[in-house]
Structure 1
Amino acid sequence: MEMIGGRCTMPKRQRTSVNIPNSSVNHHLSRRIVLLGKSGVGKSAAANTILGQTVFESAVGSISVTRESSVKHATVSGRSVSVVDTPGFFDTQMSSEHLMIEIVRSVYISSPGPHAFLIVFPVNRFTKQEEEIPQMIEMLFGEEVLKYSMILFTHGDQLEGRSIEEIIAENEALRYVVDQCGGRFHVFNNKDQNNREQVNDLLQKIDTMIEQNGGGHYSNQMYEDAYRIRREEEFESVRKETEMRVRAEIQRENEIQRQEEIERVRMETEMRVRAEIQRENNVRKQQEEKQNTPECEKRSGFKKFFSKYCKYFLIGIAAGAIIGGGAGRDVCGVVGEVVGGVVGGVVGGIVGGVVALIVHKRQRRH
């Protein structure tokens, strides 16, 4: 699960705020507490304050000195108390995977399970990262974990006369986070470890929370169930992503095939149309050639024939005109001569053409 750089997004749930009265729970029962929060918010100092002794290494500032989850025990107000200190969320000096493993391990080293998760915030700072921490805890340990959780504000000496209730009321995001933990919160001044009243008040609030949870605690089984559900959700998410990716790939391939089929049909249609147009053009051209070529050839052949045998035509025309003109003059005088010459020329030309045709056929036979 990736933690750094991304904002957890989970549906917000309304939780009922509760007032924390004094509890009648048996104070001789042991209490197991896990501290969670960012680096440098005072988790280790708060653990030392609860136990009344310096057993966890603590440093001022935002640099984390805790690299793994560890548990310490002490007798507090006559009962056994164990506190688990954990590495800080968003610790840039640890890999996300290693950090999550160590935080989850806190449940096992507080076996059979913690009575309370104390989510530690400084009173003078609440950023987007602090706002994300309850959601991250819920993602790690399941929805039930916030029933066993309480906000612990550190650096109470910096309130400067203001109440923590005022600070919560003025910050909507902080108010929502407190509501997620059932309205439970407490303030510590880690500089005053001798103030045991603040520790006893915290244990009383934890006792009340245990009563509200039916006297039980967060168990390893709850974590196992949460882990199983988270794995199932991750598997389902991967399955859906894979399915969507496969569907998108199939759709993309289908679209490519569809476009290729459209292009193939278009090209085939274009080729058929072009072939049909070419065929029609060829037919029309052949028809035009068929209509035009015989007449042309006929005219061209006659010209060649006349040019070759024109002497027969001229001799026939001349002879016909002379004979026809002489015959016409004898019959009708001058008019008869003219008419006879024309008629004789025509008849002579026809006779000359017949002679020329006979000569042409004989030449073709030889």
Structure 2
Amino acid sequence: MGFLLHKIQLNCLFTGSATELRLMVVGSSGSSQFQLTNTILGREEFSSDVTGISGSRKNTGELAGRPVAVINGPNIYDKDICQAKRKMELRRSKCLCIPGPHVFLVAFDKEKISPNTLNTPRLMKKSFGRHCLKHCMVLLAYDGNPEGAEVQKTDWHLKELIEKYGGRFHFFSKNWRDRSKDQELLQKIEMMVASLGGGYFSSRTFQKAEDCVKKEEKRLRKQRAAEIEKTWTDMEGLYTADELYNQKHAYTTNVGTEIRAKAEMDNAWLRTSLARGLGTGAVVGAVLGALFGSIEGPGGMVLYGTIGGAVGGSAGGTAQVAIDISWCLWVG
């Protein structure tokens, strides 16, 4: 039957429960998605001048008392990172959100809606799968004045944009300390997910991400097996039966959380991403060049990384591709 491109996991019903919501926050350009993350979490994870990030991040917290995980990747229109780096971070954002997001929150600045913004649904489908728009909600940032939280009759581009995302939208204040709309946002998210069957979005690539994270977790557990066994043995000499159980459980939970976090950030799927996208020769050459260049300091690393990438790239791609990857390895 092939891969199932659109799958609702009915075993993930959560409305009204304390189950963690996984929210993939996406922005086309600028600071909106990072301001939204601050607003959801009620704290400043990103400073007000952040307009883009080079690497994907996951932060956890609460929205109106509900546990949430908020995943941010680079802006989908970001031109400051090369294509290979952008593809790798798209994969990483999926790994951070497995088995899949309950909702995609697509953030825009209300005052900066343009005809170009109307292309974002196409990019969303290209990045996450053609059915992802059913799981999207438009989030519109406005400045302090509550009058900014309205759709005017003359806002044709804004109306058209919202319609492309199924008519689902919500306004949020750029001031993350304003908690007045938290409950309303949570209710909209829960109602939307419930209307879709109460589960999360998945696709072929999210399934790939989950498989690779699990394999990496298994590898890391095996790598740390001797350490864990020694720690358990040491605990047996320190605690009584009941205390020993609790200590072992707490230790095992902490190790599992640490291993999971490492596997989400680095696994075989991510490690092969750059090589597949740009050619092994370019990657190896750029890495070796960057290592030799480190003798000369940061400036030398960029210079020699570029030269090394160009040499290595002769077997795996053009000189320009090699230059791109050497820069990615340095700044990324």
Give TM-score, length-normalised by structure 2.
0.54
Is the CA contact (8 Å cut-off) linking 2:40 and 2:182 kept in structure 1? yes
Cα deviation for residue 186 of structure 1 reads 0.7
Cα deviation for residue 67 of structure 1 reads 0.8
Question: Could you say which residue in structure 2 is the equivalent of 1:175?
Answer: 159
Is the CA contact (8 Å cut-off) linking 1:68 and 1:86 kept in structure 2? yes
Question: Could you say which residue in structure 2 is the equivalent of 1:87?
Answer: 74
Cα deviation for residue 45 of structure 1 reads 1.9
1:14-163 correspondence to structure 2 within 5 Å: 25-55=15-45, 57-60=46-49, 64-157=51-144, 161=147, 163=149
1:1-366 correspondence to structure 2 within 5 Å: 25-55=15-45, 57-60=46-49, 64-157=51-144, 161=147, 163-166=149-152, 169-191=153-175, 193-221=176-204, 223=206
Partner Cα separation in structure 1 for residue 196 and residue 48 of structure 2? 35
Cα deviation for residue 138 of structure 1 reads 0.8
Which of the two has higher C-alpha Rg?
A: 1
Residue segments in structure 2 that go unaligned for 5+ positions in a row? 1-13, 209-332
Is the CA contact (8 Å cut-off) linking 1:112 and 1:220 kept in structure 2? no
Partner Cα separation in structure 1 for residue 202 and residue 190 of structure 2? 17
Aligned partner letter, 2:20? S
Residues 126-180 of structure 1, C-alpha deviations (whole Å, 9 max, x = no match):
1233211111011121221011100000124266x355222xx423333222112
Is the CA contact (8 Å cut-off) linking 2:151 and 2:158 kept in structure 1? no
Cα deviation for residue 31 of structure 1 reads 0.7
Partner Cα separation in structure 1 for residue 148 and residue 38 of structure 2? 25
Partner Cα separation in structure 2 for residue 128 and residue 31 of structure 1? 32
Q: Which secondary structure state, in structure 1, belongs to the residue aligned with residue 88 of structure 2?
A: helix
Partner Cα separation in structure 1 for residue 18 and residue 185 of structure 2? 15
Q: Which secondary structure state, in structure 2, belongs to the residue aligned with residue 196 of structure 1?
A: coil
Partner Cα separation in structure 1 for residue 48 and residue 96 of structure 2? 24
Question: Given the superposition, is the C-alpha separation of residues 49 and 97 from structure 1 closer, same or farther in structure 2, using an over 3 Å criterion?
Answer: same
Q: What is the root-mean-square deviation of aligned Cα atoms in Å?
A: 2.3
Cα deviation for residue 52 of structure 1 reads 1.2
Partner Cα separation in structure 2 for residue 31 and residue 99 of structure 1? 25
Q: Which secondary structure state, in structure 1, belongs to the residue aligned with residue 38 of structure 2?
A: helix
**Structure (1/2) with the larger helix percentage:** 1
Q: Which secondary structure state, in structure 2, belongs to the residue aligned with residue 153 of structure 1?
A: strand
Partner Cα separation in structure 1 for residue 148 and residue 23 of structure 2? 28
Residues 215-273 of structure 1, C-alpha deviations (whole Å, 9 max, x = no match):
11112547459xxxxxxxxxxxxxxxxxxxxxxxxxxxxxxxxxxxxxxxxxxxxxxxx
Q: Which has the higher contact order (CA 8 A, sep 6+)?
A: 2
Partner Cα separation in structure 2 for residue 120 and residue 66 of structure 1? 15
Residue segments in structure 1 that go unaligned for 5+ positions in a row? 1-23, 226-366
Question: Given the superposition, is the C-alpha separation of residues 182 and 27 from structure 1 closer, same or farther in structure 2, using an over 3 Å criterion?
Answer: farther
Partner Cα separation in structure 2 for residue 124 and residue 53 of structure 1? 24
Aligned length: 195
